[in-house]
Amino acid sequence: MSAMLRAENLYHQVSTGEGPLTLLNNISLQLARGESLAITGASGSGKSTLLGLLAGLDKPTGGRIWLAGEEITRMDEEQRAALRARCVGFVFQTFQLLPGLTALENVMLPSELRGEGGAAKRAGNFLDRVGLSHRLHHYPRQLSGGEQQRVAIARAFASFSGDDGILFADEPTGSLDAANGERVIELLFKLNAESNTTLVLVTHEQRLAERCGVQMRMVAGEIAAGETGSGSLPEVST
Amino acid sequence: MLPLKLLFRDWRGGELALIASALVLAVACVTAISHVTDRLARAMQQQSLTFLAAERVLRSSQPVDPAWLQEARERGLQTAQVVQFASMVAAGDQFQFASVKAAGEGYPLLGELEVRDRENGPTHQVQRGPAPGEAWVEPRLLPLLQLHLGESLQLGDTSLKITGLLEREPDRGTSLFDMGARVLVHLQDLPAAGVIQPGSRVRYRYLFAGDDKVLQSYFTWLKPQLTEHQRVIDLRDGQPRVATALERAERFLFLAGSLAVLLAGIAVGLAARRYGLRHTAYVAVMKSLGASRGKVLTIYLGQLTALTLLATAVGLLAGSLIQSQAVALMADVFPVEPPPSRWNPLLVGLATGFACALGFAVAPLVRLARTDPMQTLRRDWSNPDRREWLGLVLGPTSMLILIWWLSGSLAITAALFSGLALLVSGAALVNRLLVRGHLASFGGAWRIALGSLQRRAAFNTLLIAAFGTGLLAMLALVFARTALIDEWRMQLPEKAPNHFLLNIAPHEVEYLRKMLADNRIVSTEIYPMVRGRLVAINGVPVKEIKEKDNALRRELNLSWTETLAPDNRILEGEWWDKVNEGVSVEVELAARLNLSLGDQLRFSVGGLTIEAPVASFRSLNWNSMRPNFYMLFAPGTLEDFPATYITSFYLPPEQKLLINDLVREFPSVSVIELDKIIQSIRDTIGQVSLAIESVLVLMLVAGVLVLLAGVRASISERLQEAAIIRTLGGRRRLLLQSLILEFGLLGAAAGMLAAIGAEATLAVLAQRVFELPLTFHPQLWLLGPLAGALLVGTAGTLACRRSVSQPPLRVLRELA
């Protein structure tokens, strides 16, 4: 299987008023298409920073990352944005729907940013698949938390323009009650399996992490050895 | 198309309403002010042009070449001819000296005559003179000639039927030719009258009106052909006082317009900054979905362009409607109907819309495009791009260019910006002082208010500067307006002399003085007057002097007095109480002739020459309606030359008939009646004041709306804070008090700054623009903070009243 996501010796540091602060150190990983990875760890362990770097939202201080076969650490911001527009989807803890847009318009947004035609039809299909075909023209403030997250999931899957999709989810159930959280997770994994997309998930919930093929626990910006759950951390070939 | 789509979707969400309404407000305000000032200025100019009865006048002591008039007509200009001279008119055995004006077809080209066709009937406004064979006369001539309307008077060899009583004529001048009661006749009657003989003192006036450019090109063609006895007069030459008043009014109106633009820009800036902050989260999400920085910029700048176009169109429409209403409301008090709107104000509105948008909204959007997509994961929506300087450079620069263009005056622009620079730096300082207090030492509403001020410290600096600018504009306008109007009033006091008596013989002086005193008329000093020509300076004949001042080409009225008139001031040298010989020269003429103290001036008086050293330079007020002289000699120098005397006095309307007694007692004395001219000038000044007041009202509205825009920018945060305080048990009264305190303090701080800025601005304006003496305004320092606290306190509290009145649960749910 070809690697959908690969990171090699990632190292990330930021400047603070009290000097440089190391957020990530010596992170290497590899995921094949269709695989799922759960990143767990305490608050401040570097999970979200790692997720952002893997998705190309920022550049690491050191190390290399390949996404869908392309090395994003050699790309500038514009090139990374173009890659994200093509094959990266996001689900955020606080949904991050644009409040001025309806559910349908929020899901249409990725297609529109790529300049594709038929955005409305495509968005309607995804909303139908998440069970919200009756809420197309509602604004986020008119939807419940669970419904908003389902719109966000529909938007994430609408972000892929081809087969090489990779979904990054940051605490997707963090703002939901247990029942809604469960429903959203079921939906996420169902769509992931149907679309054969790759999934990278940051979560605090062990139960959720266990549903992923690969688990990775982080402590103070490093992968805690021997705590990779039921899956096996793929070897990183250089 | 994506920017437009997003614009419409976003509009539905209400996010763009604030920035759009700020732009609409800006454009509407500026368009309305620009329209009103343009129309009123043109109306005032038209009204003023009626003083000439034309747009340009060619004055000559001889008839001009008829080909010149033919050329004017061929170029499409309107022309009319007026001949003026002094002559005796008679009826039976009654004779009177009259000021005769013979007007040809077309007279007056501008303005109207006021005529009565019954002795006690109403006046009619007409735009023509009498028909051939008829005469219109001033009412006071009838009793002098013992005539009634409908009877005839004799002018030279012709008899003319009096068909109208002339109450007012637009071009009633102030020259010697206007002495005596007016008799207006038709030009065709002059040859038959035979009153103009070779050598008669006659003034020929040729009136011109038409398209500005055609007039310009015609006089460019004509001027090289004029002799030294011919002169072209425009408004400035014809009525220097009106021209000055008009010029100052125009400057003031432009100043008001410029400040409106500045306020509008600040409103847009406040709204755009808030818009940028509110959209940080959206942009972070869009970027995580794959939107590049370029794409984000395209989207937001595209939106801004569309929004600006839309808002500008609405603003232009609204501004045009407001101005038409405003002008309609003022129509009754304007004797001249304001001319229709032109397209220029629309251009000003359009330029303002784009200048405001580009100057104030682009910077926040550029910063917005630099949003870090990682913020979606950090859930931190502050804008990490610290490049506030871009906005601080772009905004003022665009305003500077726009205001310079609008005002056409670097001095006004510099004055405005000097005040503004002081204000912005002061705002930061005052804000620091304001947020230094320790909250723990305050209680209740004070703690909430000060806490709110501290939390918004950075934004408050901007708010104080914005409020300060608004208040500065208002204070500067109020005080500048007051200063200007006061100065006009001082120039033309209520009982300014309104009649001149000329050609008073020396033996008549004492009797005249007694007659005036008997009638309780206070006159100015009765000055002797000797006609003389300046022929040499320091022995150099004036013919060889390069500075060909008009004063060198004509006879001057030379006088002497022991007492310096109240409107005269010795600037250099000594008056006759310190030296006993020489001549005191009016300072501006002295400057034009490059005179120095001690220079020897040679005059030719009645064929004799006299020499006198320059003893002093003297400033005087030509507008004082008192006799004034370029050259005042030391007593004892000119007494041997034949002199006539001149004086001026105020005659109340109820004593108007005294003129008849004076004319009867002193038949050789010429009377110049200035009261009608003064009334015209008063009317014009009244209009100027009204125009300024109208603009001031519009400015006040703009200022208040800008303050509201500023307050609204932080309304959602305030709603949330208030809802939380109320949820935790805070009472509405406490919140209301804290709001009043917070905005009152902000307003007072802004008001204090505005007072400082306004004082500085007024000083610059007084010195550089209005040429008024420097004065300190203690009222500013009280009024500024008080008005600021009241205005901002009220506006802010009203704008935030929702946070006090709405149920907290609803607020929290809406803002979630």
Cα–Cα distance, B261 to B255 (Å, whole number): 10
Assign B177 a pLDDT band (cuts: 50, 70, 90): very low
Please list the helix, strand and coil fractions of chain A in percent, rounded to the nearest 5, in that order: 35, 25, 35
Kindly report the backbone phi and psi dihedral angles of residue B507, in degrees, each rounded to the nearest multiple of 5, phi listed first. Answer: -75, -15
pLDDT for the residue B705:
63
Neighbours of B641 (CB within 10 A): 16
- Per residue in B261-312, pLDDT (tens digit) is 777 777 777 777 777 877 888 888 888 888 888 888 888 888 889 889 999 9
Counting residues of chain A whose pLDDT is more than 90, the rounded percentage is: 29
For chain A, what's the residue count?
Answer: 238
Candidate from A172-176, A200-204, B423-427, B522-526 with smallest mean pLDDT: B423-427
Average pLDDT for B695-703: 63
Cα–Cα distance, B698 to B40 (Å, whole number): 14
For chain B, what's the residue count?
Answer: 816
**Region for B460 from its dihedrals, namely left if φ exceeds 0, alpha if ψ lies in -120 to 50, beta otherwise:** alpha
pLDDT for the residue B48:
63
Residue A158 has pLDDT above 50, yes or no: yes
Higher pLDDT: B617 or B691? It is B617
**Environment class of B571 (CB within 10 Å of its CB; exposed 0-12, middle 13-18, buried 19+):** exposed
Candidate from B57-61, B629-633, B697-701 with smallest mean pLDDT: B697-701
- The alpha-carbon gap from B691 to the nearest alpha carbon of chain A, in Å, equals 45
Residue B116 has pLDDT above 50, yes or no: yes
Cα–Cα distance, B444 to B737 (Å, whole number): 9
The answer to whether B547 and B592 have CB atoms below 8 angstroms apart is: yes
- Cite the DSSP H helix spans in B555-674: 587-592, 658-665
ipTM reported for the complex, 2 dp: 0.84
Higher pLDDT: B653 or B80? It is B80
Q: Is A109 on the interface with B (CB under 8 A)?
A: yes
Question: Whole-number mean pLDDT of chain B?
Answer: 79
Cα–Cα distance, B476 to B293 (Å, whole number): 44
- The alpha-carbon gap from A72 to the nearest alpha carbon of chain B, in Å, equals 13
Cα–Cα distance, B755 to A109 (Å, whole number): 51
Higher pLDDT: B395 or B686? It is B395
What are the chain B neighbours of A159 within 8 Å (beta carbons)?
Answer: 289-290
Going from N- to C-terminal start, the domains of chain A cover 34-56+83-223
- Cite the DSSP H helix spans in A38-177: 47-54, 77-87, 103-114, 119-129, 145-158
Q: Is B770 on the interface with A (CB under 8 A)?
A: no
Residue B14 has pLDDT above 70, yes or no: no
pLDDT for the residue B75:
92
- Per residue in B529-539, pLDDT (tens digit) is 888 888 889 98
Assign B10 a pLDDT band (cuts: 50, 70, 90): low
- Per residue in B345-398, pLDDT (tens digit) is 888 889 888 888 888 888 888 888 888 888 777 666 565 555 667 777 888 788
**Environment class of B494 (CB within 10 Å of its CB; exposed 0-12, middle 13-18, buried 19+):** exposed
Most confident of A190-199, B166-175, B771-780: A190-199
- Per residue in B202-217, pLDDT (tens digit) is 788 899 988 888 988 9
Neighbours of B346 (CB within 10 A): 19
C-beta atoms of B376 and A57 within 8 A: yes
C-beta atoms of A84 and B288 within 8 A: yes
Nearest Cβ partner for A100 among B12, B378, B379: B12
Q: Which residues contact B763 (CB under 8 A, 6 or more apart)?
A: B774
The answer to whether B284 and B356 have CB atoms below 8 angstroms apart is: no
The answer to whether B7 and B16 have CB atoms below 8 angstroms apart is: yes
pLDDT for the residue B541:
84
Quick one: how far is CA A119 from the chain centroid? 22
Counting residues of chain B whose pLDDT is more than 70, the rounded percentage is: 78
Q: Among A83, A88, A109, A137, which would you mutate to test the B interface (most chain B Cβ atoms within 10 Å of its Cβ)?
A: A109
- The alpha-carbon gap from A112 to the nearest alpha carbon of chain B, in Å, equals 7
Residue B436 has pLDDT above 90, yes or no: no
The answer to whether A14 and A201 have CB atoms below 8 angstroms apart is: no
Q: Which residues contact A122 (CB under 8 A, 6 or more apart)?
A: A108, A111, A116, A158
Q: Is B13 on the interface with A (CB under 8 A)?
A: yes
Average pLDDT for B641-653: 86
Residue B334 has pLDDT above 70, yes or no: no
Please measure the distance between the N-terminal and C-terminal CA atoms of chain A and give it in whole angstroms.
16
Average pLDDT for B155-168: 90
What are the chain A neighbours of B10 within 8 Å (beta carbons)?
Answer: 100-101
pLDDT for the residue A58:
87
- The alpha-carbon gap from B780 to the nearest alpha carbon of chain A, in Å, equals 46
C-beta atoms of A101 and B373 within 8 A: no
pLDDT for the residue A226:
43
pLDDT for the residue B256:
67
DSSP string for B185-240:
EEGGGHHHHT---TT--EEEEEEEES-HHHHHHHHHHHGGG--TTEEEE-HHHH-H
What are the chain B neighbours of A81 within 8 Å (beta carbons)?
Answer: 287, 290-293, 295
Q: What CATH number does domain A34-56+83-223 carry, 3.40.50.300, 3.30.2390.10, 1.10.10.10, 3.40.50.720?
A: 3.40.50.300
Q: Which residues contact B379 (CB under 8 A, 6 or more apart)?
A: A93, A94
- Per residue in A178-197, pLDDT (tens digit) is 888 888 888 889 888 888 89
Assign B140 a pLDDT band (cuts: 50, 70, 90): confident
Average pLDDT for B754-779: 78
Cα–Cα distance, B157 to B195 (Å, whole number): 8
- Per residue in A98-118, pLDDT (tens digit) is 877 889 989 998 888 888 888
pLDDT for the residue A42:
87
pLDDT for the residue B710:
67
Tokens of B496: 């300014």
Global pTM exceeds 0.80:
no
Assign B486 a pLDDT band (cuts: 50, 70, 90): low
Q: Is B17 on the interface with A (CB under 8 A)?
A: no
